Structure 1
C-alpha cells in the first residue's frame, strides 16, 4: 500500500452531527475527504464539511477500497461509520485493508449499548445475535427459555420474520421490543408478543434493534417436550428425513471427539440428515461446516434441517471425495459418517487435513471396523467401541434394546503421522 496519513474513522449515531464529541467534530471539520454511505454523509451539514470532498461508498464496496484509499494518499481522510466502528462496522474491514497502524478510530456508543440502556439490561447478561445479511433463522440456536437477546436487524422485515420463527419454535409468548433510530430525534419503541405480531413491515423503522425476552410455550417433537440448546446431542426427533443419521448418544460422543472451537470449519462426509454438521455449527456462531452428500433427497433434508435448527448457512455439496475441490474452506476437522470403505476415501480425507487437524470416523460394519483398525495401527490416535442400549416396553415390562455398536477412530494429524509410511507411534497406547 502507498504511504499515507492515518485514516480517521468517526462513529456517528442517529443524532448525527449534534451527537459527536468536540474532538470528533474537529476531525470532521479538518478532513479533506469524507467517505461513508450516502445516509451518513447527509448527517454532516454542508457548513461543517463544506471544503471536504464527499465520496459515497461504491457497490460493491470491498474490492474498491484499496484503490479508493490509494487515490487519496497524502490527504486527510475521515471515514464516517455507524455507532462503534469496530462493532460489526467498517472499522474492522478497514483494519484488514489498511492495517491497524494506518487507522485511528473515534467510537460512538454502539446500537447494542444504547439498546441495553433503554431496556435496563446488563449487556454482559444478554446474548448478541446479528441478522445483518443473514437468514432470520440464525437466531434459533440462541433461543432458550429465559434468555434475553439483542438482535441486530437486517431491516424493516426482520421483526416480523423473527416473530414468525419464534412462534413456530414454540416461543410465541416471547416479548419483542423494536427499538428504532436509537439516540436520534425520531427514536421509537414498539412492543408485542411474537404470536400476536401484526405490525406491517412498512411501519417499522429500517434502522432498528430487537430486544427479545424468550418465553417458551412448549417445544414439542413427536408429542414429547424437549429443549434445544447448543450442547451436542439433540433429540433424534428434532430432525426430519429418512432416519439416516448418527443417533443422539453417539452424536454427542462424536462431537466431543471432534472438539469444535469458535471459528473452526468442519467437513462432514456422508451427511445423511446433517446432524453432525448442524450441531457443530450450533456450538458457536463462528463455527462453520461443509456437508458432503451424494443423494439429492438427502441434500434437501440436510438443508431443511439446517434451517429449522438455526444454521441455514451450512454449505452442502455433492459426492465425496469428488466434491472436495468445490469446498470454500479447508477443514480444521473431518468427520466420516458414511463411505469409510469407499476406495480412496480415507486417503483423500487425510490428504486434505492439515497438520494439527482432527479426523473422526465412525464404523458399524465388520469391513469398516477392520479398515479403521488398520489406520489406527498406522497413525495412532484413539480407537473406541461404543454401544448404546435404550429401555423399551415389552408387554407390561421394559427391556434393553441394543443399538448397533459403533467403532470410532479419532486422531490428530501430526508431522510424525503425515504420510502413508508413518510408523506406529506411542499415541497407540493412549
Structure 2
C-alpha cells in the first residue's frame, strides 16, 4: 500500500466532529498538526495534535503550511474544499502525491437541500473576496442563485445591490451556519430585508424578481449599457465583430484601442473562463473601461494603458485580437510577427486610408473582407428617412 500523503484537507461542517466521515476522523487521529481558521478549530474542541490558526489574509498561511512539509498535517476547510473553497489554492502549491482531500457537503448542497431546489439548475457563486457585481450577468426574473458571502454584514450589502439594480422584489433566504446547532433561516424580500445581526458563515438563496434590465445572452448589447464618450463600437457592428472573433472557453482576447471596452466586456460575458486584455492609450478612457467592466460583472478584465504595439510587450499571447482603434501598417507588421499561428485577427476600418490598408493586407494574407453599411430611420422634416452611418470595413483572418 502506498504511503499516505503528508497533507489531508478535511471538509468540515457546522456540526463539527459529529458529521465527519471515517476517513476524516482517521486523518485527525494521526495528525501531528491541525491547521485551520479559528472557527473551524473551535468546532473540533480539544485536539491531541498541535493546532495552528490560519492567518488572515489567507495567502499568509501558505508559507506556514509549506514549512510543515514532512509532518502529518490536516488542514480544515468549509464543506467541499474544491467548490469556491481553499482546496484549489493549496493544491496548486503541491505535487499531486503530497495531498489528499476528504470533502464534506458543500454549502450549496446544504442550501439546495433545505429549499428543495435542483442544484443543477441553480446558479452557485462564491463572493467571499469578489464584488457583488459578479451577479450582474445572471440577474433575470426566474433565476435561482445561491451566493456565499464574506460575512454577516455582506447580507445587507447584497440586498441593497439587488434593489439598486431593479430586483428589490427578489425573495431572499438568508441561511446562517447551515447544518449546525446555530443554523438560522431568515426569509424576506431584498427591498424589505432588515439587519438581523447576521453572522458568518452565511449563504443567501435568491429567487430573482423585479423590473430590472437583464443583460441579453446574445452578443450586441445596447450601446447605452456602456458608459462612453462616443468612442464605442456600435451595437450591430459589435455583434458582427464578436461573431468574427468567435470566443471559446479558456481563450484570451487582446482588444487594441479599447475605447469604452465594449468588445472586451462582451467577450468576457460570453463564458466565465474567457480572459481579455484591453489596450487603451488614453487614461480617461482606460478609467471608463475599468468602470464599465466592474459594473457589468467582469472585473477580471485586464487593462493596459499605452499605445500598441509597444504596450503589447510582455503580455500573454492571445487566441484572438480585435483592432478597433490605432490601426496602422506598423501595428499589423508587429502582430503578424508576434502572434502565434492560428490566432484569429479581426480589424475594423472607417477611413479610406485604413480601408486601403486592410485591402492590401488581405491580398497578402487572405481572410475575408466585409463592408458593413448601416442606416437608421431618422426624422426628415415632418416624415422620416434613412440616415446612413459611416460604412465599416471588417477584415477577418486566421494567421
CA contact (8 A) 2:5 2:100 kept: no
Offset at residue 242 of structure 1 (A): 1.4
* 1:146 alignment partner, SS class: coil
Contact 2:249/2:274 (<8 A) preserved: yes
Q: In the alignment, which of 59, 68, 72 is matched to residue 69 of structure 2?
A: 72
Partner of 2:18: 18
Trace 1:125-274 onto structure 2 (pairs within 5 A). 125-199=121-195, 203-219=197-213, 227-274=214-261
CA–CA distance in structure 2, aligned partners of residues 87 and 330 of structure 1: 29
After superposition, the C-alpha distances for 1:223-259 in whole angstroms (9 at most, x for unaligned) are xxxx422321111121222121000011111111112
Between stretches 177-186 and 33-42, larger displacement belongs to 33-42
Post-superposition offset of 1:365: 1.1
Aligned residue number for residue 373 of structure 2? 387
CA distance in 1 between counterparts of 2:61 and 2:155 reads 32
Question: Given the superposition, is the C-alpha separation of residues 335 and 16 from structure 1 closer, same or farther in structure 2, using an over 3 Å criterion?
Answer: same
Deviation at 1:173, TM superposition (A): 1.2
Q: Is residue 55 from structure 1 mapped to residue 78 from structure 2 by the alignment?
A: no
How far is 1:102 from its partner?
2.9
Between the aligned partners of 2:379 and 2:31, the Cα distance in structure 1 is 77
1:363 to 331, 341, 349: 349
Aligned residues: 396
Aligned residues: CA RMSD: 2.4
* Partners of 2:154 and 2:398 in 1: CA distance: 42
1:74-93 matched pairs, under 5 angstroms: 75-93=71-89
> What is the CA distance between 1:265 and its match in structure 2?
2.2
For normalisation by structure 2, the TM-score amounts to: 0.91
Q: Secondary structure of the residue that 2:182 maps to in structure 1?
A: coil
Cα drift, residue 156 of structure 1:
2.5
1:323 aligns to what SS in structure 2?
helix
Are the counterparts in 1 of residues 177 and 183 from structure 2 also a CA contact under 8 Å?
Answer: yes
2:321 aligned residue = 334
Distance 2:383 2:224 in 1: 24
Kept after mapping to 2: 8 A contact 1:391/1:400: yes
- Alignment match, 1:353: 339
Given that 1:333 and 1:353 are in contact with CA atoms closer than 8 Å, whether structure 2 keeps it comes out as no
C-alpha distance in 1 between matches for 2:96 and 2:295: 39
71 and 174 in structure 1: CA distance in 2 versus 1, 3 angstrom threshold: closer
Question: Are the counterparts in 2 of residues 144 and 229 from structure 1 also a CA contact under 8 Å?
Answer: no
TM-score, normalised via structure 1 length: 0.85
Structure 2 matches for 1:289-300, cutoff 5 A? 289-300=276-287
- Distance, in Å, in 2 between the alignment partners of 1:352 and 1:178 is 51
CA distance in 1, matches of 2:164, 2:173: 19
